[in-house]
Amino acid sequence: MSQHDRYRPQVHFTPPANWMNDPNGCLVHNGVYHLFYQYHPGSLQWGPMHWGHATSTDLLHWTHQPVALYPDPQLGMAFSGSAINDRENVSGLFDDEHGLLAFYTAHRDSPDGQDALQQQCLAVSYDQGQTWIPYEGNPVVPNPGVKDFRDPKVFFHTPSQHWVMVVVAGQQVHFYRSGNLRDWQFSGTFGKYQGHDSVVWECPDLLELSDEQGNRHWVLFVSGVTPADEPFPPMQYFVGHFDGHTFTETQPHSDVNRVDAGADFYAAQSFHGTVDHDGRSIWIAWANHWTYANDTPADSWRGLMSLPRELSLVTRHGQLCLRQQVVREFTARLTEAVRHVGSGRWMLPVPNNAQWFQLSIPATTRNTIQFVLNNIDGDRLCLQWQPELKTLTLDRTGIASSAFHERFNQPCQVDLSTAMTDEIGLEVCLIVDRCSAEVFALNGQVAMTCQLFPEQPFDRAELIADDNVFVDQAHLKD
């Protein structure tokens, strides 16, 4: 591994070089997954936004493609958005029967840098997503007089037989409808006084997800630009009803519904077409936090995505809650697991590969459990379970490079006291892939994502636990 790739993970997507943030335009088309993303090809810092592009057939191994969208001299940068397959050519933009369309925000700064104009635009691909041409009628949704008006998510609403666009507008979400994907009519709003609405919302997504009985429910997701001293989680969600015009929350809650308990999970976007493709709802997120995103340790590239996750709902204490599980393509490529029981230390056989660990903790356990990964430099990552407090902690402060930023140099912790009972043990999955750690607990009801920057791969593990606790270990095949 070269010095320029010392942090590059095995299967978490990273840009070929320079800056990357939000996933954009995620879709599956003809068996190929397309991932577009916010990209600055000329710098390790955020700057003039393009759409980068990569493709995959297994959601793990990605092939870089040419840049898809560039800043427009008149309309501005290409901010976040989504993409769809216009299968029936309702747009009338294709000579044959179908093609791909991308919807994105054009962002143009004012000359004095004090204000900006954000409008929703359309781009067309006639060659299966390889090249994109901005629509000559842009913008398709002009700015209605809102400062922060961006990140269109477009999908087809079958009951009303209309296309829907979901756009954030300050601390709210606006909805638009269209019959031809070119002309859009405003239809409703959601968000005022809902959830955490004191920060600017970004990157909405609206999905219909299945619960354990197969019933479908609408779930609205938003991210939030969080001040450095604000504890607000980067993403939240609402469960409710969508009638094709607007969203209504149907499940009251006393606290914010948090998508991920870690620090680094933002702007998640679902892949258009996966439900029709194989019945799954899948999304991917930018694994970073705006507080320190421009300052993370980097050589030739900066920014990574989470592993893609399968989404569903589960009932907990009478409330529908989000469940996230790493895509089955990942677990299918793991080696046969090796079990370690009780306290002990061991070496990891292939430290450069993504590592998978499953901790099984009986309900009778009363002592604190620690599972530690470290390397030759003394860097230390600790996953800790405190049964009396029912807190699960992922602590990256033992890694020397974590000190680059005060907000980064903090442990991530989640309270599971309301999510589990004393009669049920705990299983925790930890996936470490060089500069990424993702934790899944309670069968995916809890997720925790954090970046890591150890100078060397973790090559040894230690379990500090009672004799009835064990950990299964495997790694991803080459």
Give the residue among 9, 58, 56, 24 at the shortest CA–CA distance from 327: 58
Euclidean distance between CA atoms 132 and 449, whole angstroms = 33
Which of 22, 205, 379, 433 is the catalytic position? 22
Tokens 């969203």, residue?
247
Q: Spell out the residues 6+ positions from residue 137 whose beta carbon is closer than 8 angstroms to its own.
A: 122, 182
Euclidean distance between CA atoms 42 and 135, whole angstroms = 26
72 is catalytic: no
Euclidean distance between CA atoms 387 and 405, whole angstroms = 30
**Residue 392, number of CB atoms within 10 A of its CB:** 23
* Burial grade of 405 (CB within 10 A; 0-12, 13-18, 19 or more): middle
**Residue 333, number of CB atoms within 10 A of its CB:** 18
* Residue 344 structure tokens: 């002990």
Residues across the chain: 478
Beta-sheet pairing, 18-29 with 301-302: parallel
Euclidean distance between CA atoms 258 and 446, whole angstroms = 9
Residues forming the active site: 22
